[in-house]
Chain A
Amino acid sequence: MRNFRRILLRRVISLVVTFLLVICINFVLFRMMPGDPLQFMVPSDPSIPGEYKEMLIERYNLDDSMSEQFITYIKGVVTLDFGESFIHKVPAMDYLLDYIPWTLLLVGIASVFMIVIGMLIGILAAWKRGGLFDSGSLAFSLFFYAMPTFWLAMIMVMAFAETWEIFPASRALGIGEQFEFTLASIKDLLHHLVLPVTCLVLVYIATFSLVMRGSLSDVMTEDYITTARAKGLSEKAVLKDHAVPNAMLPMLILIALTVAYIVGGAFMVEWVFEYPGVGWATIDAVNEEDWPVLQAAFFLIAVTVIIANFVSDMVMMYLDPRVELS
């Protein structure tokens, strides 16, 4: 137990350090930006009075020294205040808050599907190793693995929204609709989610099926599997009760590590489908040069991913105390 506590302490310290590093990177990066921040906010139009510029300098503390700016920034981070969006004139974090549930919905549903289907494919492939299903699923997985997410999204739009008109090509709801908890609204939402979710699932399924296959193949060579077979258990029982549970651990590690990649993929999918998620808002912020929003988005995503990693580490330690966390 003492050992457990020591590892926990180490993890917490490294979490805090990673956290601080992200905060610093977020500050330094946005101070590295070329040019005068005023240029982004005020068009160089002589008719704009100087007082307005002075007001902006005052408001964004542009005349402060670096250290003063850093202190203001840290205060902002603590209160989640990253300044006002240049374009939308609301606090950057408030602006992003509207987009968060949509991304959680998309990534959440897609993750469940890709993990479950990926695992099933992996189990079947490992069970009949070298068989037709194994090589077929491998080829399928590698093909989608090599595919740019956004391209798959475009192809799906072409096939299922344009040629066959089965699913809508963009947005999360019909034009002008607001989400309500009514059956019609939920149906509309799910209808819009089919293509983006399928797209994410197809691209990331390979990651899960390949690891499950590898991990299960390893477990199948262990002595206790031979013992289980020798006891006369059916193949199905061996697989279900002895092999799969022991092959799950690498999957759990993978789920945590993949979160960061899925978020990246979700960005592209959101962009192509004009889905109102954090990814769409972030890319839009870059195109609009809305730096406070970009800074807030970077912070938000970084913190989410770091915490997700930490939680998965903890879960893993609980499930398998043998795992030495390095």
Chain B
Amino acid sequence: MIETNFTLSGPFAERMRLIRKKVAETGRVFKRNRMGMVGLAILIVFAAMAAFPAQIMWVFSTVGGWDYPYGPHDEVASYGTGTDPSSEHWLGTDSRGNDVLARLIYGARISLMIGTLAAAVSMVLGSIVGLLSGFWGGWRDEVLMRVTDVFLVLPWLVLMIVFVAVLPGGPSVYKIVIVIGITGWAGTARIVRTQVLSVKKRAFIERAKSVGAGEFHIIRKHIFPNVFPLIFANAILTVALAILSESALSFLGMGAAATVDVTWGNMLEDALGAQAMYNGLYLWVIMPGLCIVFLVMGFTFIGYALDEIFNPKLRKR
């Protein structure tokens, strides 16, 4: 079991030792979790796609005997537009004259990037609101929680659509990250707040207060370290949701521009626009969606595994 009474004060070296110990401990438990390891394996595959798309395409081009490795924005007329899979283009070509396989592989990078960055933004926002709300209590807690409620009850997609519409600037990766980030923090804020309320009652918080520790010192050094595992597990699950959100927004043409940044969501937008479903271009529709499903499952598996590790109560069930 993972130690939960965990305080990060004291000399730097001592703090680092504690963190390292905790990470190692978590890793050991994680390795025994089958679901978590499957998730990790899926994630590694996609991370490789995101990190080395050109190299992967080069390998494919050698195997397939193509003249050169295709890129994500080739737009070459000689590829043909909207063609069936062939030995030249294993998954066919899209309506702009791009190789679908190349776009699929390059798409991992932006899809993953938007997912993780957006989750990071909403984690930071949600953690700050949750920590302060839980720690302060009283009317400030009340105000923060009412705002959280609004974000929690409103349909996420509607909220995102409105934000995309009203924020300045055309569709871009950064706009999407911000929109998903500022619409998705409410759930985290709730969870963090609940955890803070229970940590706050522990004796070591009283002790810190009695020796005259300030508000922010207590939050930073005593409460945050105990809430962090929860935030982390939640962050992983949030990445999954952010990836789904990105794909939905891109699909509606409100995400990153397909000619600049290729994501699986805007590949599907192109496919819908070109009526690929009615033209027998099945792989163009199926493959990007499958990538989304597997990436989301990967993050969900890891998130559940971490949740089991950090909330041992769940493990008994």
Which A residues are within 8 Å of any B CB, using their own CB? 14, 17-18, 21-22, 25, 29-30, 32-34, 142-143, 145-152, 154-155, 157-158, 161-162, 169, 214, 217-218, 260-261, 263-265, 267-268, 271-272, 282-283, 286-287, 289, 291, 294, 297-298, 301-302, 305-306, 309
Contact = CB atoms under 8 A, between A and B. Distances in A.
A150 B265 CA distance: 10
Given A146-B293, A148-B248, A21 B150 contact: yes
Q: Please classify the interface of chain B as helix (H, G, I), strand (E, B), loop, or mixed, using the class held by over half of its residues.
A: helix
A271 B268 CA distance: 13
Interface stretch (B126-134, B160-168, B213-221, B225-233): B160-168
Interface string B134-163: 000000000000110110011111100111
A42 B82 CA distance: 37
Contact of B240 (A14, A146, A289): A146
Contact of B282 (A158, A282, A287, A301): A158
B247 interface: yes
Nearest to A287: B253
A268 B165 contact: no
Nearest to B265: A148
A18 B186 CA distance: 14
Contacts of B297: 142-143, 146
A194 B25 CA distance: 50
Contact of A29 (B163, B252, B278): B163
B93 interface: no
A145 B300 contact: yes
Given A21-B146, A155-B285, A305-B154, A143 B278 contact: no
Given A29-B163, A154-B272, A18 B277 contact: no
Contacts of B305: none
Output the residue of A32, A146, A149, A154 with the most chain B CB within 10 A: A146
Given A17-B146, A22-B150, A151-B292, A29 B156 contact: no
Given A146-B296, A302-B154, 18 more contacts: A29-B162, A29-B163, A142-B297, A143-B293, A148-B265, A150-B248, A150-B268, A151-B288, A151-B289, A154-B271, A155-B289, A260-B156, A265-B157, A267-B158, A268-B157, A298-B162, A301-B155, A305-B155
Interchain residue pairs A-B with the least CB separation, the first 9: A264-B157, A151-B289, A34-B168, A146-B296, A263-B155, A146-B297, A264-B155, A260-B155, A158-B277
B244 interface: yes
A22 B161 contact: no
A64 B64 CA distance: 66
A217 B149 CA distance: 29
A261 B268 contact: no
A296 to B, nearest CB: 12
B1 to A, nearest CB: 21
Contacts of B294: 146
A32 B166 contact: yes
B224 interface: no
A147 B251 contact: no
Contacts of B258: none
A268 B248 contact: yes
Contact of B252 (A145, A263, A271): A271
Contacts of B271: 154
Contacts of A214: 317
Contacts of A289: 165
Contact of B292 (A148, A265, A268, A283): A148
A146 B39 CA distance: 13
A301 B158 contact: yes
Contacts of A14: 146, 149
Contact of A286 (B164, B169, B244): B164
B24 interface: no
A24 to B, nearest CB: 10
A12 to B, nearest CB: 14
A268 B252 CA distance: 8
B149 A147 contact: no
A260 B248 contact: no
A306 B293 CA distance: 31
A275 to B, nearest CB: 14
B286 interface: yes
B244 A148 contact: yes
A25 B158 CA distance: 13
A143 B294 CA distance: 9
B155 A283 contact: no
Contacts of B254: 286
Nearest to B314: A214
Contacts of B289: 147-148, 151-152, 154-155
A129 to B, nearest CB: 10
A158 B285 contact: yes
Contacts of A158: 277, 282, 285
A151 B287 CA distance: 10
Nearest to A150: B251
A18 B156 contact: no
Contacts of B146: 14, 17-18, 21
A294 B162 contact: yes
Contacts of B282: 158
A114 B237 CA distance: 23
5 contacts: A29-B166, A150-B248, A263-B157, A282-B158, A298-B162
